[in-house]
Structure 1
Amino acid sequence: MNTEWGEKSSAELMSSYVSKEVGCGVPKEGWRICLAHEFKEKRKPFQAKDVSLSNVVEHLGLGIRYLKWWYKKTQVEKKAPFIDMFRAQPLRQIYGAPLGGIGGGTITRGWRGEFCRWQLNPGMYHYKTVTANQFTVCLRRGGQTVYQQVLSVERPPTLQGWNWGYCGEYAFYHALYPRAWTVYHLPGQNVTLTCRQISPVIPHDYQDSSLPVAVFVWDIENNNDYALDVSIMFTMVNGSGHKDDKSGGHWNEPFHLEKEGEAVSGVLLHHCPTVNPYTLCIAAREQPDREVSHQTAFSPKGTCSGLWSDLITDGRLDSPTGSSPPTPKGEKVAAALAVGCSVPAQSRNSLEFCLCWDMPTITFGSRERAHLRRYTRYFGSKADASPSLSHYALTHYRRWEKSIEEWQRPILQDSSLPCWYKSALFNELYFLVDGGTVWTELPEDADVSGGVRSEDGGLPAQPAVVKEFGRFAYLEGQEYRMYNTYDVHFYASFALIMLWPKLALSVQYDIAGSVVQQDPTERLHLMSGRYSPVKAKNVVPHDIGDPDDEPWLRVNAYLIHDTADWKDLNLKFVLQVYRDFHLTQDSQYLQDMWPVCQAVMESEMKFDLDGDGLIENSGYADQTYDGWTVTGPSAYCGGLWLASLCVMCKMARLVDNEETYQRYRDILDRGSAAFDKLLWNGKYYNYDSSGRDLSNSVMSDQCAGHWFLRASGLGEGDYKAFPTEKIQSALKSVFDLNVMSFAGGQMGAVNGMRPEGVPDRSSVQSDEVWIGVVYGLAATMIHEGMQEEGMRTAEGCYRTVWERLGMAFQTPEAYCEKNIYRSLAYMRPLSIWAMQLALNTSQKDRTTSAGTGVADGEQGQDLREKES
């Protein structure tokens, strides 16, 4: 079982495991793995030594300047670099579905059951497995304990008084985010336990989706001819494995809360660091046929045999009253909660636990401002919400599950979609929650407009959608620590606009407000070695800040390039504005964004150096491929430019501005002719028009502009920027070369491929596979009627990341054909939801052509109905 994972397909594995698991209520769709499995392939993170000699020479200045900056940041300022090139995270093939809702912090539970990744302080991660955080089962028959086992395959050097080393061959993990199941067959006991993990991540729900809670439901199947008494014990350390666990002053207390005819009890673990204090809570629902008991405090070091003996004696804990004393400096404290029930012969029963954490007020690294998390709107900001949160979770999780099932069912039951796609679509959503995500209330005195009012081409100080739904931010990646990195959000944004569209619009208002701002502070940019302003006016920022500083207040944490000269950021803003309007039909949003779109397009005009209607790249890496230089008009940026002109024409007509329409239409006509003349080679669009040896490389992302037009309901009949026959020829070239001629067609699409069928190795990025780009490419293929090719392209990435490399719930930005990956847990792969939009659109197009009259914009109507 554990040696075959990398050699079997998901379908084969499912068929071998499904008979054991479906009877336990586990769906057949999702990601599945045996707890005894070991991944054969062990990859390493990208490092400087992996750069070719020519690239080392080219980037020598960058390396020297980065080293000086890194030393100052880490040794002088004692801060974490926004990208740490010397301390990349090693690949740990252990992660499972993260716990918690959106924007309240996350705790990740690994697929073997360990609590192993923590993001409670906003945007700041540490990767520590806390050994004492476990579930333990106790079976009793006739008043005697017959079996007691920690449900962990580990054999740690601590807590030797516990029974470790559960045989992983008897257990399986299954994830279909936001739920996960672990099925344990207890050897020799004829008992099966199924732990179902539920987090309230529910599309179009802006209340419960914000809650920092998770529920564990333990279903117990007794296949014996005699009854058993079964207890599950949940142990949790006060802290997260961070060094401040030993800072002293932490304390625990039991609690009981009864309201609305339901009671819960458990233990509160008050964690009291100097910054961002919080309370962890483990709780259970009290019922007449359940026995809830607890141990308020125990030391999670030494053998810890006292707690083990307490449970083994009678299947319950002592349940002392009163709080524990504050911990002395250097000591940790933990708590335990046990719930027991009787399970008749040949029958089932269940037990429920809740884990929640209450950190209502947060400060970022600069500690300049306090922010209230979104959930405080419903549960208060006094840091006393844990009992109410746990009560709410334990009495509402069934409703959450019903909503999740209703959302997922149409896709899961669609027999035309492969199983791997269903797993990828839902499981990649983890990053919306576990991407260092913050969701805060907008302060009453906040002004998101940048100080430029609507009548002057700006925004309202507090747009209604931001005031009502708050501010939202997520990281470019857990290792690339910048919030709302906009060139990458362009790809990832499909998940947000399709599932939580109000948050997508809120992000757009924040970006729009930052456009009109400027920060003239001069700083050194590491690639060029030149000083330039942090933020120029009327250009889209690269990001809205570093969580170790003060996001929203100080933007552009990225300082490798001066992104005021990037060619794609402004265009991606314009394209997202129209796509979002198309999907939501929010006319106020369009009206507010229109003057900002005009401002950024005017700023972009300066990149058309020869006045032919087509922008030129600079000869540097001046777009999202920030390590891959491009000179002159290019397929990627030129395509985004033409697509932006198309939507500007469309929006000008919608706002009844004929003069502006005619201006952009003229530029579009000239630019389209230049694009075709300079870049089309008869089969595909060349990488750029510089005439260099590699300018005719095949770029997998060459149709990105056209992709957004199709996602926005625009096709060949709208302004004719990209003739259908040329787009389809380009996509066929990409499929034949970048996909099928790379790694045997099994790893997705390489970014750059030479027409002779070898990867373009001119840069550190041209021979990488970017998973998020591949999903966007697959969506483009689906829009163009190439669904089989699109699915084949995307499947290579899923199989590589989830099944071969063990990167579940940490999908990276990139991997190479062999040995190397880069930037674990990255934003861009959320673009898989663009594939679902393309499938929806294709289905509606077929329905419309069959005469049912599905109108353009009905997708937006569907969203509005769900929002209301």
Structure 2
Amino acid sequence: MDLNDSTSLAELMDRYQSTETGFGVPKDGWRICLAHEFKEKRKPFQAKDVSVSNIMKHVALGVRYLKWWYKKTQVEKKAPFIDMFRAVPLRQIYGAPLGGIGGGTITRGWKGEFCRWQLNPGMYHYKTVIADQFTVCLRKGGQTVYQQVLSTERPHTLQGWNWGFCGEYAFYHALYPRAWTVYQLPGQNVTLTCRQVSPVIPHDYKDSSLPVAVFVWDIENKNDYALDVSIMFTMVNGSGQKDDKSGGHWNEPFHLEKESETVSGVLLHHCTTVNPYTLCMAARKQSDREISHQTAFSPEGTCSALWSDLINDGRLDSPAGSSPPTQKGERVAAALAVGCPVPAHGHNSIEFSLAWDMPKMTFGSREKEHIRRYTRYYGTNGDAGPTLSHYALTHYKDWEKSIEEWQRPVLEDSSLPSWYKSAIFNELYFVADGGTVWVEIPEDCDISGGLRSEEGGLPAQPPIVKEYGRFAYLEGQEYRMYNTYDVHFYASFALIMLWPKLALSLQYDLAGSVVQQDPTPRTNLMTGQCTAVKTRNVVPHDIGDPDDEPWLRVNAYLIHDTADWKDLNLKFVLQVYRDYHLTQDSQYLQDMWPICQAVMETEMKFDKDGDGLIENSGYADQTYDGWPVTGPSAYCGGLWIASVCVMCKMAQILKNDSVYERYHSILERGSAAFDKLLWNGKYYNYDSSGQSLSNSVMSDQCAGHWFLRASGLGNDEFQAFPKEKIRSALKSVFDLNVMSFGKGQLGAVNGMRPEGVPDHSSVQSDEVWVGVVYGLAATMIHEGMLEEGLHTAEGCYRTVWERAGMAFQTPEAYCEKGIYRSLAYMRPLSIWAMQLALDNRPKLAKDTDAPQTSLATESDNELIKKNCH
């Protein structure tokens, strides 16, 4: 490819890959050329993908689901919490989302599109708003020599604009919460680098809540003459939904001077009946920057007038006053332009911010009004756009400094491979973009469930909840349930390591719901039986559907009766101790202790024969809700043994001798039964039923042991799991589930037969669950199997991010060929468990060279060059 007078793209890639200087693009992260097309095209899981035998097992479920789906969508006019008939199709376009935590997100794709919106809490729509763009104008000697929309799109609308930027001249680089897009302007000897910054900062509970992002445009002029460069930012008042044309929306310019800094821009007031909000485009005034705007233009037709306005003199007309409210059927947009001089062989920069202010919001039921966390600092009047923008434009450098200090130890660790440095930060996108809500707790809210502390309950408003608010995130963008607890068990490592106060706040909320009950009867879709929505002293599956009223009505999930699930209570107990171990918060441990005792008492009923080990029911009664399990099992049995172990440990800390003696006795009997019934000499059998597939190799069989190690408890602590057996089990999983599946390049399949073929007995046993794989890799690292752990996790990263084009939408599951399930899922946040395991390595291990795995057949630079040609 000949780029004429510009540096060749391959040379440019070499330059960026070898240094962190230049345009400021780090060498580690996820990188893609804007001209790249993914060859692999996966499809969402559908009923036709199920084997005939499995279809026959679930005919009744299908009938009940269809009836429920029809009632939900056609009668109640609501969105199903899982919609099996309208799965979100794979669009290989997404980049790092914009915004902090809990105030809604807007996703900008890697080609520059604003294409995924989550402003209404927990509810997504996937619409590219084509007029939301950046445009560059170059002027030499008072004449415009180049003007281009920085988009590879060629839309049917806005034909008056110059579309179709050649993607071969640009690449995108993401290291969340920042991203860079580098454009070589063809024939102009000018390079633009757009740096996108969001305030997602560990241990920061103020700035991390802000619904705002900053775009910094660095301009490099390699010509022998000076240029005047303008960047124009255009945005539609809305997000591509029908209500963009509902009428009554209006725009206005603003100018805010504060603390010797001035910002100017346009406010786009989106005046819907439910959850109105304001978008705010802004720029910071500086001595050699000229800010201009167009308050309102129609994003329909050719839109030639706006284009001509910019091309005429590199600025916009900047009319005063507000635009009139839109008429029904009409859309309105706004534009903001900033111009600056760039000397010959010199640099300059331009800064924009984008904020969105929805201070009060309601969920789908419209029953309660919730106040977002950021309003603690910016008020609830809906007029925070200018001050949010002012703060962002004057503080984003501080954000970047904090982000760099946080990421530096990982990025500079020579023992870690490059793919991992991308994965550990980029997978964190879900903390903000998981339908996340972070709200203040109302003064009259009682989270205790009505049971006072002296009765074994909680304070009405625990101090940590009052100070840090309530936090919730979805199981997945397609599986729309908040704080799904069996999955949060895996994902929780990201919160407890980076925002521990939010992790503890979530736990207090869950603990309060444990002692509550909802006797309302409803039909479970799997069995057809009628059971209570919520049973007392049982951990709920989730705290509700954003299309209903979360926290008030829990357990949106109705496929199974999760009061009969074996893992939820155990996962609560394990997380309580893990959280205490990492935070050393004694008050938290004391508050959670009676709740732990209550849920363990409930769990005791699943030990039918009194041998100290619980049994599964024969149904899919745990997080693998499509994979039946009978009798004592490796997964739930291991979680039980680990939970009994931490009950002993907590009883020791709290000096409760009687409880310690009781659980230590159970531990001795249960460990012996676990070993006798499940250990086969190489690994732990899937279950002890003796059925034909009971000896399948489950990749997640050491989950209980994993949490013990993550909680600082050694292999021999309370004689829970013998070290040599754990190592043997992990080796079996690596040999069979990893290396004998997909040529060792896809991660670990959930179930594998000892003869080396996947277990096809259920709809989940032959899937790869990305979050489970990351947890498995963490377990291997804890056990000193560093190379095996990294290789196992690498298979998932390469599959999702490089081959399947699922960046910033990591799914729950995929099969060996062609199929994925549930895009943008919570569980892969478990990659932070890998980081915890790596942090706990002996110091010497960190100073060695990174292990080479069989997947690393091409250097990252070679992959980049291949993707760009």
**Which residue identity does 1:565 align to in structure 2?**
D
Tell me the equivalent position of 2:194: 195
Residues 486 and 541 in structure 1, CA contact (< 8 A), matched pair in contact too = yes
Tell which deviates more after alignment, 712-721 or 354-363: 712-721
Tell me the equivalent position of 1:38: 37
**What secondary structure is seen at the aligned counterpart in 1 of 2:558?**
coil
**Which residue identity does 2:659 align to in structure 1?**
T
- Is it true that 1:152 corresponds to 2:151 in the alignment? yes
**Which residue identity does 1:689 align to in structure 2?**
S
**What secondary structure is seen at the aligned counterpart in 2 of 1:284?**
strand
Measure how far apart 1:715 and its partner are. 1.0
Tell me the equivalent position of 2:53: 54
- Is it true that 1:722 corresponds to 2:718 in the alignment? no
**What secondary structure is seen at the aligned counterpart in 2 of 1:842?**
coil
**What secondary structure is seen at the aligned counterpart in 2 of 1:335?**
strand
Deviations 1:480-518 (A, max 9, x none): 000000000000000000000000000000000000000
Residue 179 and residue 301 in structure 1: after superposition, are their counterparts in 2 closer, same or farther (change >3 A)?
A: same
**Which residue identity does 2:120 align to in structure 1?**
N
- CA distance in 1 between counterparts of 2:766 and 2:273 reads 46
Tell me the equivalent position of 1:468: 467
Measure how far apart 1:843 and its partner are. 3.1
Tell me the equivalent position of 1:791: 790
**RMSD of equivalent CA atoms:** 1.4
5 Å-filtered alignment, 1:48-87, equals 48-87=47-86
Measure how far apart 1:133 and its partner are. 0.1
Tell me the equivalent position of 2:224: 225
Measure how far apart 1:841 and its partner are. 1.2
Tell me the equivalent position of 2:582: 583
**Which residue identity does 2:200 align to in structure 1?**
V
Residues 358 and 385 in structure 1, CA contact (< 8 A), matched pair in contact too = yes
Measure how far apart 1:717 and its partner are. 2.9
Residues 16 and 27 in structure 2, CA contact (< 8 A), matched pair in contact too = no
**What secondary structure is seen at the aligned counterpart in 1 of 2:545?**
coil
**Which residue identity does 1:384 align to in structure 2?**
D
**What secondary structure is seen at the aligned counterpart in 2 of 1:472?**
strand
Deviations 1:679-712 (A, max 9, x none): 0000000000000000000000000000000000
**What secondary structure is seen at the aligned counterpart in 1 of 2:213?**
strand
**What secondary structure is seen at the aligned counterpart in 2 of 1:184?**
strand
Tell me the equivalent position of 1:289: 288
**What secondary structure is seen at the aligned counterpart in 2 of 1:24?**
coil
- CA distance in 1 between counterparts of 2:502 and 2:343 reads 48
**What secondary structure is seen at the aligned counterpart in 2 of 1:422?**
helix
- Is it true that 1:819 corresponds to 2:818 in the alignment? yes
**Which residue identity does 1:802 align to in structure 2?**
W
- CA distance in 1 between counterparts of 2:845 and 2:571 reads 29
Tell me the equivalent position of 1:425: 424
Measure how far apart 1:312 and its partner are. 0.2
**What secondary structure is seen at the aligned counterpart in 2 of 1:339?**
strand
Residues 515 and 540 in structure 1, CA contact (< 8 A), matched pair in contact too = yes
Measure how far apart 1:274 and its partner are. 1.0
Tell me the equivalent position of 1:670: 669
Tell me the equivalent position of 1:112: 111
- Is it true that 1:243 corresponds to 2:255 in the alignment? no
Deviations 1:400-436 (A, max 9, x none): 0000000000110001000000000000000000000
Residues 22 and 28 in structure 1, CA contact (< 8 A), matched pair in contact too = no
**What secondary structure is seen at the aligned counterpart in 1 of 2:512?**
helix
Deviations 1:370-407 (A, max 9, x none): 01000000000000000000000000000000000000
Measure how far apart 1:655 and its partner are. 0.8
Residue 531 and residue 12 in structure 1: after superposition, are their counterparts in 2 closer, same or farther (change >3 A)?
A: farther
Measure how far apart 1:263 and its partner are. 0.2
Residues 431 and 825 in structure 1, CA contact (< 8 A), matched pair in contact too = yes
Tell me the equivalent position of 1:410: 409
Measure how far apart 1:23 and its partner are. 1.9
- CA distance in 1 between counterparts of 2:19 and 2:772 reads 37
Deviations 1:633-682 (A, max 9, x none): 00000000000000000000111100000000000100000000000000
5 Å-filtered alignment, 1:530-679, equals 530-679=529-678
**What secondary structure is seen at the aligned counterpart in 1 of 2:651?**
helix
Deviations 1:117-152 (A, max 9, x none): 000000000000000000000000000000000000
- Is it true that 1:170 corresponds to 2:169 in the alignment? yes
Residues 14 and 28 in structure 1, CA contact (< 8 A), matched pair in contact too = no
- Is it true that 1:304 corresponds to 2:298 in the alignment? no
- CA distance in 1 between counterparts of 2:763 and 2:12 reads 36
- CA distance in 2 between counterparts of 1:13 and 1:726 reads 51
Task: Give the structure-2-normalised TM-score.
Answer: 0.96
**Which residue identity does 2:818 align to in structure 1?**
N
- CA distance in 2 between counterparts of 1:25 and 1:676 reads 55
Tell me the equivalent position of 1:857: none
- CA distance in 2 between counterparts of 1:584 and 1:223 reads 52
**Which residue identity does 1:142 align to in structure 2?**
G
Tell me the equivalent position of 2:312: 313
Deviations 1:830-853 (A, max 9, x none): 000000000111236989xxxxxx
Tell me the equivalent position of 2:799: 800
- CA distance in 2 between counterparts of 1:269 and 1:120 reads 14
Task: Give the structure-1-normalised TM-score.
Answer: 0.96
Residues 642 and 704 in structure 2, CA contact (< 8 A), matched pair in contact too = yes
**Which residue identity does 2:513 align to in structure 1?**
S
Tell me the equivalent position of 2:437: 438
Tell me the equivalent position of 1:121: 120
**What secondary structure is seen at the aligned counterpart in 1 of 2:712?**
coil
Identity %: 84
**What secondary structure is seen at the aligned counterpart in 2 of 1:522?**
strand
Tell me the equivalent position of 1:401: 400
- CA distance in 2 between counterparts of 1:736 and 1:717 reads 25
Residues 491 and 772 in structure 1, CA contact (< 8 A), matched pair in contact too = yes
- CA distance in 1 between counterparts of 2:720 and 2:405 reads 39
Residues 101 and 200 in structure 2, CA contact (< 8 A), matched pair in contact too = yes
- CA distance in 2 between counterparts of 1:82 and 1:374 reads 25
Structure 2 gaps, min length 5: 3-9, 847-869
Residues 412 and 422 in structure 1, CA contact (< 8 A), matched pair in contact too = yes
Residues 814 and 820 in structure 2, CA contact (< 8 A), matched pair in contact too = yes
- CA distance in 2 between counterparts of 1:16 and 1:37 reads 20
**Which residue identity does 2:703 align to in structure 1?**
A
Residues 299 and 332 in structure 1, CA contact (< 8 A), matched pair in contact too = yes
- CA distance in 1 between counterparts of 2:343 and 2:300 reads 37
**Which residue identity does 1:694 align to in structure 2?**
L
Tell me the equivalent position of 1:864: none
Deviations 1:168-223 (A, max 9, x none): 00000000000000000000000000000000000000000000000000000000
Residue 20 and residue 326 in structure 1: after superposition, are their counterparts in 2 closer, same or farther (change >3 A)?
A: farther
Tell me the equivalent position of 2:184: 185
- CA distance in 2 between counterparts of 1:222 and 1:154 reads 25
- CA distance in 1 between counterparts of 2:359 and 2:212 reads 13
Measure how far apart 1:13 and its partner are. 11
5 Å-filtered alignment, 1:200-215, equals 200-215=199-214
- CA distance in 1 between counterparts of 2:508 and 2:665 reads 29
Residues 217 and 350 in structure 2, CA contact (< 8 A), matched pair in contact too = yes
Structure 1 gaps, min length 5: 3-10, 848-868
Tell me the equivalent position of 1:484: 483
Tell me the equivalent position of 1:334: 333
**Which residue identity does 1:569 align to in structure 2?**
L
Measure how far apart 1:609 and its partner are. 0.3
Residues 278 and 358 in structure 1, CA contact (< 8 A), matched pair in contact too = yes
Residues 562 and 621 in structure 2, CA contact (< 8 A), matched pair in contact too = yes
- CA distance in 2 between counterparts of 1:241 and 1:529 reads 40
Residue 535 and residue 150 in structure 1: after superposition, are their counterparts in 2 closer, same or farther (change >3 A)?
A: same
Measure how far apart 1:288 and its partner are. 1.3
**Which residue identity does 2:213 align to in structure 1?**
A
- CA distance in 2 between counterparts of 1:17 and 1:351 reads 21
**Which residue identity does 1:194 align to in structure 2?**
T
Measure how far apart 1:716 and its partner are. 2.2
Tell me the equivalent position of 1:691: 690
5 Å-filtered alignment, 1:508-527, equals 508-527=507-526
Measure how far apart 1:24 and its partner are. 1.0
- Is it true that 1:459 corresponds to 2:462 in the alignment? no
Measure how far apart 1:718 and its partner are. 1.1
Deviations 1:423-472 (A, max 9, x none): 00000000000000000001111111111111000001110100000000
Residue 20 and residue 224 in structure 1: after superposition, are their counterparts in 2 closer, same or farther (change >3 A)?
A: farther
